[in-house]
């Protein structure tokens, strides 16, 4: 075979195997449609300068909200306990005594009792004072006990609040309100206040 014929044969074979391949038209159509979709979706994206919320700030806000709720619950519980303590004190004295010394009890004794209880609760902390309660087993007659602050979890008294009668020479009868604490085995006498009664003997506690 002549040389020019061989060259022609090679060209024809190459053209038939490579040059004649034409990509299907549907591939071009799909690619063009995909490009249009991408451009269209980008066009629809809203432009905004508003920054996204910071996750840390959200968590901190939620924690602050929970802390506020805990504080509200704690304040409510302390308020409930102090009111119960005041009621116990008035009940201990009884109507006959309260009718005569009510003003001194309300303005001097009860606010001081509340102050002491709040101090005990704050010192203990919320994890402990949630187990504190006021005992309700009053003692009529001449006993000193008004109420105890009792730790229900530890099964022991935290504080004891008492009132006793005192006869002072040339003055008459006084009511001395005081409390004792467990941290010194209830030995120390912590004064709350004194109320004058009269030179005459006062009635028994809880007298009607």
145-198: pLDDT as tens digits: 999 999 999 999 999 999 999 999 999 999 999 999 999 999 999 999 999 999
Residue 36 lies in a domain: no
**Reported confidence tier of residue 85, pLDDT bands at 50, 70, 90:** very high
Q: Among candidates 195, 201, 199, which has minimal Cα distance to 89?
A: 195
Domain range for residue 138?
A: 71-198
On whether residue 97 sits in a domain, the answer given is yes
Query: pLDDT tens digits for 36-47?
Result: 554 444 555 555
In a domain? residue 11 = no
In a domain, 12, yes or no: no
pLDDT higher than threshold 60 for residue 137:
yes
| Tally of CB atoms within 10 A around 118 | 15
Handedness of CA 82, 84, 90, 95 (dihedral sign): positive
pLDDT at residue 136, as a whole number = 84
Residue 49 has pLDDT above 70, yes or no: no
Q: Report phi then psi at 156, rounded to 5.
A: -155, 155
**Sheet strands side by side (includes 132-134):** 132-134, 145-151, 156-168, 172-181, 190-198
Lowest mean pLDDT across 62-76, 105-119, 136-150, 182-196: 62-76
> Which residues lie across from 163 on neighbouring strands?
177
**Residue 139: predicted pLDDT:** 82
8 belongs to a structural domain? no
The model carries a pTM of 0.68
Measured in degrees and rounded to the nearest 5, phi and psi for residue 150 equal -110, 135
| Centroid of chain to Cα 204 | 43
CA distance 101 to 146: 17
Domain count, the chain: 1
Q: Give the bridge partners for 178, in sequence order.
A: 162, 191
Residue 60 has pLDDT above 70, yes or no: no
pLDDT at residue 2, as a whole number: 47
């Amino acid at each position: 075979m002549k040389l020019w014929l061989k060259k022609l044969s090679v060209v024809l074979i190459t053209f038939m195997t490579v040059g004649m391949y034409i990509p299907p038209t549907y591939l071009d159509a799909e690619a063009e449609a995909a490009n249009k979709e991408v451009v269209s979706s980008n066009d629809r994206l809203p432009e905004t300068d508003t920054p996204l919320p910071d996750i840390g700030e959200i968590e901190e806000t939620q924690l602050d909200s929970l802390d506020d709720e805990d504080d509200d619950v704690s304040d409510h519980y302390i308020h409930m306990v102090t009111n119960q303590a005041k009621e116990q004190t008035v009940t201990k004295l009884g109507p006959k005594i309260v009718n005569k010394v009510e003003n001194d009890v309300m303005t001097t004794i009860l606010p001081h009792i509340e102050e002491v209880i709040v101090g005990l609760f704050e010192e203990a902390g919320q994890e402990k004072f949630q187990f504190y309660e006021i005992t309700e087993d009053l003692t009529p007659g001449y006993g000193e006990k008004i109420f105890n602050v009792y730790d229900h979890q530890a099964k022991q008294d935290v504080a004891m609040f008492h009132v006793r009668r005192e006869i002072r020479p040339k003055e008459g009868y006084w009511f001395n309100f005081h409390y004792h604490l467990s941290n010194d085995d209830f030995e120390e006498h912590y004064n709350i206040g004194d109320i004058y009664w009269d030179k005459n003997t006062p009635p028994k506690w809880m007298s009607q």
